[in-house]
């Protein structure tokens, strides 16, 4: 059942005197991998040192445009070094054309550019936090149920102008639909009115893995709140630069954009 089952399977592991490095997940663009190695090992993905938990669990994530290979280096406590070249499967992404939008939704006016830079810088800093708690080990569920109206990786062309790829999954549902935590986490951002994303919550799941929930009509949590899976964090809306009521659920592993749909079962009724 995709990575969800693999994440949950990690909970069943029992301590071993020695564990070979194991990778569970999807080695693909937008994919997330959960690894396990000897406790005390050092793990490096390309040039990034990766947090290894006391039980040897670690996380790897791959951006939408990740190159075809990534180099994983594991150094065991005794000094033995294991090197792997990981083949990252390419994906094809949909092209979406949306015409007839007001110009301010395509190109922001000059007077808000400083606000946008400030908000983006704050979010970027939060995504670099490497919290040690492995709260992602609860596995993931859908934060809302509804029609999938946008998918990860799609390229949007607004009024004929190509824009940055879409990095989340859009769930269309009525305004006010409760939005729930897909996994345990700590609230690190709870904003009522960001320029692009309106009501916005970011939930840190640990080890650099985070979820963002965009366009909320109400934010019902505050920074520092600890949420359990399925706790309500806000209400679905159409705030910010949204074209209609929906939740845009995004996930990051540090700067790498992850496809949330790879972590959950198919949408109920979908």
pLDDT at 17: 43
At 5, phi and psi to the nearest 5? Answer: -65, -35
For residue 268, what are the CA distances in angstroms to 26, 31, 173, 249? Answer: 22, 22, 13, 16
**What confidence tens digit (pLDDT) does each residue in 100-115 have?**
767 666 677 888 899 9
Q: Per DSSP, what are the bridge partners of residue 150?
A: 170
Integer Rg of the chain from CA = 19
Look at residue 111 and give its three-state secondary structure. Answer: helix
Question: Token pair for residue 4?
Answer: 């969800």
- Rounded CA gap, 233 and 86, in Å? 36
pLDDT at 191: 98
- Rounded CA gap, 8 and 6, in Å? 5
Where does the pLDDT of residue 20 fall: very low under 50, low under 70, confident under 90, or very high at 90 and above? confident
pLDDT at 189: 98
- Rounded CA gap, 121 and 236, in Å? 25
Percent pLDDT > 90 in the chain is 79
Q: Give the least confident one: 8-17, 38-47, 93-102, 217-226.
A: 8-17
- Rounded CA gap, 249 and 19, in Å? 35
pLDDT for residue 44 is more than 80: yes
Question: Token pair for residue 98?
Answer: 């949306």
Question: Token pair for residue 90?
Answer: 């390419």
Where does the pLDDT of residue 156 fall: very low under 50, low under 70, confident under 90, or very high at 90 and above? confident
Where does the pLDDT of residue 2 fall: very low under 50, low under 70, confident under 90, or very high at 90 and above? low
Q: Scanning the structure block, which residue is given the tokens 């908000």?
A: 119
């Amino acid at each position: 059942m995709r990575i969800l089952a693999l994440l949950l399977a990690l909970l069943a592991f029992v301590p071993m005197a020695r564990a070979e490095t194991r990778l569970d997940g999807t080695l693909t663009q937008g994919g997330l991998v959960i690894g396990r190695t000897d406790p005390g090992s050092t793990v490096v993905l390309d040039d990034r040192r990766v947090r290894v938990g006391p039980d040897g669990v670690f996380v790897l994530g791959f951006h939408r445009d990740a190159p075809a290979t990534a180099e994983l280096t594991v150094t065991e406590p005794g000094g033995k070094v294991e090197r792997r070249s990981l083949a990252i499967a390419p994906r094809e992404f949909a092209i979406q054309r949306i015409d007839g939008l007001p110009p301010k939704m395509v190109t922001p006016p000059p007077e808000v550019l400083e606000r946008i830079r400030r908000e983006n810088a704050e979010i970027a800093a939060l995504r670099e936090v490497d919290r040690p708690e492995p709260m992602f080990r609860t596995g993931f569920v859908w934060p809302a149920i509804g029609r999938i109206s946008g998918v990860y990786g799609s390229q949007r062309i607004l009024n004929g102008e190509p824009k940055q790829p879409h990095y989340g999954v859009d769930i269309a549902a009525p305004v006010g639909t409760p939005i729930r935590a897909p996994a345990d986490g700590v609230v690190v951002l709870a904003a009522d009115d960001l320029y692009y994303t309106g009501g916005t919550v970011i939930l840190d799941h640990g080890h650099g893995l985070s979820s963002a929930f965009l366009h909320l009509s109400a934010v019902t949590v505050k920074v520092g709140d600890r949420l359990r899976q399925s706790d309500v964090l806000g209400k679905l809306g159409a705030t910010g630069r949204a074209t209609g009521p929906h939740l845009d659920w995004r996930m990051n592993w540090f700067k790498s954009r992850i496809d949330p749909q790879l972590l959950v079962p198919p949408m109920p009724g979908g």
